Amino acid sequence: MVWFKRFVYFVLILLTLIGLALAYVGLFVNPNDFKDELKNVAMEKANVRLRLEGDIGWSFFPWLGLEMENIGVAIGSDAEIVQFDRAEFGLAMLPLLEQKIQVNKVNLVNLKAHLHQNAQGEGNWQLQIPPSTSKTDANMAVVKGSSNVSASASQTAHSSDVKIPDIHLEELRIEKAQIVYRNEQTKQLIEADLDVQLKDVQWDKAWPMVMEASLTQSDLQGHQSIKVEASLNSQLTVFPERESLLLDALVVQASISGEAIPASPLEAKLSAVNVAMDLPQENLLIDGLSLSSMGVNLDAKVQAFEVLSDPKFSATLSVGAFNPRTLLTALQIPLPDMADSTALTKASANVALEGSLDELTVQPIAIVLDDTKIEANAVLSLSPLRWDVSIAGANLDLDRYLPDPVEAEAGVDTEAETKIGIEAKSTTASGKAQANPTEAELIPVELIRGLNGHVGLIFDDIQVKKLTIDQLALDTTQTNGVVSISPLEASLYQGKVSSQLRLDVRGNTPKIDIEPSVEAVQIQPFLIDLMAMDNIAGETFLRGDLTSQGNSVDALMSSLQGDLLVEIKQGALVGTNLTKSVCEGIASIRKKTLNVSQFGNDTPFETMRFPAHIVDGQISTPGLAISSVGLQVTGDGIIALPTQSLNYQVNVGIAGSQLDAACGVNETVTQLTFPVVCKGAFSDDPAGLCRPDLVGFGTLFADLAKQEAAQKLAEEKAKLKAELKQKEAELKAELKAKRDAEEARLKAELKAKREAEEERLKDKLKDKLKSLF
């Protein structure tokens, strides 16, 4: 570039002028005679105070040489800002005739610099020009500026015609340089020790460069210090015609120590095969870059374009396998308790990225953490900040990284603990959820409020909180404190869950809206893994709409509102046999012994349907209906999520031929529905969770007894009535027989009398006739 050539020309002209001046002065002048005059001129013209205690020596031929000892420089009345014990410089004369600059050595020994910046930002290195000369110097500066502009324009026009002289510097050495920088504004104190050595410096050829440095940063009292010790070795090549430079075999080793450094001393090594800079094209290429520290090895290749005007870059990064647990331990970063001691022990990554000051594209990203593999693509817009990220992964066991669940100690009364826990929760979880101020926040509100972007995720084989998820897929956007997930889909437990979720953290309390949908999920293994609850089994279907608010699990459970419609097919009430509970109640009322071995442990059913209405985490199911062969169940009650307990009553109707053998009662019972109460905590033994409501059973059987007594009285009345009717009929028949017999006797007597009278009359008539004849 033009400015680079200008700088080279300026250096060459300056060195030539210095050489000529030294030649003249070396021949005709003793420099030590002018020490006092040099001091006065520096003070008058530039307000610079010089200390020249050592001898000034020079040579003319064949080398223009300058040697100075015990030199100090100060601005005005301030303390000296620069001191050095010895300065040496040697320039060959004859090569100048061939436009070659050959310097045998440039050596500065024990350089000391004291830089100070006050609270107003003024530095002790800033010159205070005396008023008498300020105007003249200003005019000179204007004239010089004009001439520089003209010279610059002229040089720009003819720069291509000027040949850059050859330079050969045999050695440049800065020995034991000490720099102290004190800043009152930032309250910082920086102390640096520096050794630099360059050898055989020539254009278009590589020369070795060695640097040793030690830097300490602290507050103004020297506390909270951080010390860096570094060494640099490389081969540097400068190509002035092409205006480019090249660093080969770059190796930087550093050690960082201090109270604020966890792994003090922190050792690091940076190396590069080559670093190339092309100034006209503003291109930078770093090949074979490697950084090693604390067991982590990073390899990279970097390309940057237009770095001085409109930077653009591309890079590939590779992090070799390392142990994150060891790294975090060395950095004194406390690790949380983890269930698996081998978790977080293997990691590696490969990343390719490109971008500019406005946008960064990272793709692909490949990360391996233990047994988990993640691949991702990301586009990051920097103004304003926004991202678009796609992630795919497999085999993530989050339970490995979570602490072991707390188990009850042997000998502890778990029932008493459960009751105490339920009472404690019930006192704190009333109508609306109230977050415990001492409880850790579940949702990072401030972080979410700053999110602005889109994330897509597909992950296979996930385990979290003992839940096994075959596949999880989601698409989410984050804008101004609102996170929308639509859809959220998961394949788990032989079924599928799909939901839409909205998280709003714009207010003081986070709010969550969920529209869940469940298709054919096996509910028993799901509940076992989720909350160690196996009270119900079957293929579950669900639809609903839920809302909640809060920033803790308890608060979210306590404020849960909404409605659900649930259906479970081909399931069972596990550990609870409602038929057995009914028969136990019947046997207890009848004061009989029941053979429980005739009953199974569960209550199988074909379908269970119920609408669930949720208010403040309290679930009521007034329309519960269970259908099964020989069993009809309805029910209602409360399932309390905040206290993880239930208080429920089901009404069981039993029918079928097995009833008489199991319960030992007549078939009248099959026409009744029996109350069974299910009450307790989710963690209670399912076998004892449900039991017959003996009071209800007693009332039921009392009503049955009254019904049977009334029926018996009616039967007796009917029987007596029938007997009376039968006796009345028999009496009537007897009376009728007697009447009929009397009538027959009278008729016979009358007939006999009539026949006798007729015979008498016949005889009398015969006698009369005989008398006539």
Question: How confident is the model over 246-266, as pLDDT tens digits?
Answer: 999 999 999 988 877 877 788
Across residues 444-460, what is the average pLDDT? 90
- 254-311 pLDDT, tens digit each: 998 887 787 778 889 999 999 999 988 889 999 999 999 988 999 999 999 998 888 9
For the chain, give me the number of helices (H) and strands (E)? Answer: 11, 33
CA dihedral 50, 51, 53, 56 (to 10 degrees): -30
Q: Indicate whether 676 pLDDT > 80.
A: no
State residue 692's pLDDT score: 64
Written as six digits, the tokens of 349 are: 């990554």
Higher-scoring residue by pLDDT: 299, 593: 299
DSSP state of 281: T
Q: Indicate whether 214 pLDDT > 50.
A: yes
In the structure, what pLDDT confidence band is assigned to residue 130 with cuts at 50, 70 and 90?
Answer: low
CB count within 10 Å of CB 192 equals 16
Across residues 160-170, what is the average pLDDT? 65
Q: Indicate whether 185 pLDDT > 70.
A: yes
Of 23, 30, 160, nearest in space to 96 by CA: 23
Dmax (CA) of the chain? 237
Burial of 30 per CB tally in 10 Å (0-12, 13-18, 19+)? exposed
State residue 230's pLDDT score: 92
State residue 91's pLDDT score: 64
State residue 19's pLDDT score: 56
- What 3-state class would DSSP assign to 579? helix
Across residues 119-136, what is the average pLDDT? 63
- 509-534 pLDDT, tens digit each: 999 999 989 998 888 888 777 767 77
The rounded mean pLDDT for the chain is: 77
Q: Indicate whether 432 pLDDT > 60.
A: no
Query: At CA 90, angle to CA 85 and CA 96, rounded to 5?
Result: 155
In the structure, what pLDDT confidence band is assigned to residue 149 with cuts at 50, 70 and 90?
Answer: very low
Percent of the chain with pLDDT over 90: 20
Across residues 387-405, what is the average pLDDT? 89
Higher-scoring residue by pLDDT: 194, 106: 194
Q: Indicate whether 11 pLDDT > 70.
A: no
Domain ranges of the chain: 1-129+165-186
Q: Indicate whether 437 pLDDT > 50.
A: no
Q: Indicate whether 633 pLDDT > 70.
A: yes
State residue 18's pLDDT score: 54
Query: At CA 428, angle to CA 422 and CA 429, rounded to 5?
Result: 80
Can you spell out the DSSP letters for 214-240?
EEEEE-TTS-S-EEEEEEEEEEEEEET
CB count within 10 Å of CB 298 equals 16
What is the phi/psi pair of residue 158, to 5°?
-115, 15
Across residues 608-634, what is the average pLDDT? 82
State residue 623's pLDDT score: 79
Across residues 183-190, what is the average pLDDT? 88
> Does this model's pTM top 0.75?
no
Q: Indicate whether 24 pLDDT > 90.
A: no
State residue 745's pLDDT score: 80
Can you spell out the DSSP letters for 706-771?
HHHHHHHHHHHHHHHHHHHHHHHHHHHHHHHHHHHHHHHHHHHHHHHHHHHHHHHHHHHHHHHHHH
State residue 473's pLDDT score: 93
| Lowest pLDDT segment from 14-28, 207-221, 240-254 | 14-28
Question: C-alpha 155: how far from its chain's center?
Answer: 60
Q: Indicate whether 129 pLDDT > 60.
A: no
Written as six digits, the tokens of 213 are: 């440095």
The structure tokens 């994150």 sit at 324
* Cα–Cα separations (whole angstroms), residue 728 to 723, 724, 737: 8, 6, 14
**Long-range contact set of residues 693-697: C-beta below 8 Å, sequence gap at least 24:** 693/585, 693/649, 694/585, 694/588, 694/589, 697/585, 697/586, 697/588, 697/589
Q: Which residues are registered as beta bridge partners of 33? A: none
CA atoms within 13 A on the CB side of 702: 6
| Lowest pLDDT segment from 98-102, 333-337, 362-366 | 98-102
Across residues 399-404, what is the average pLDDT? 85
Best-predicted range by mean pLDDT (157-166, 302-311, 589-598): 302-311
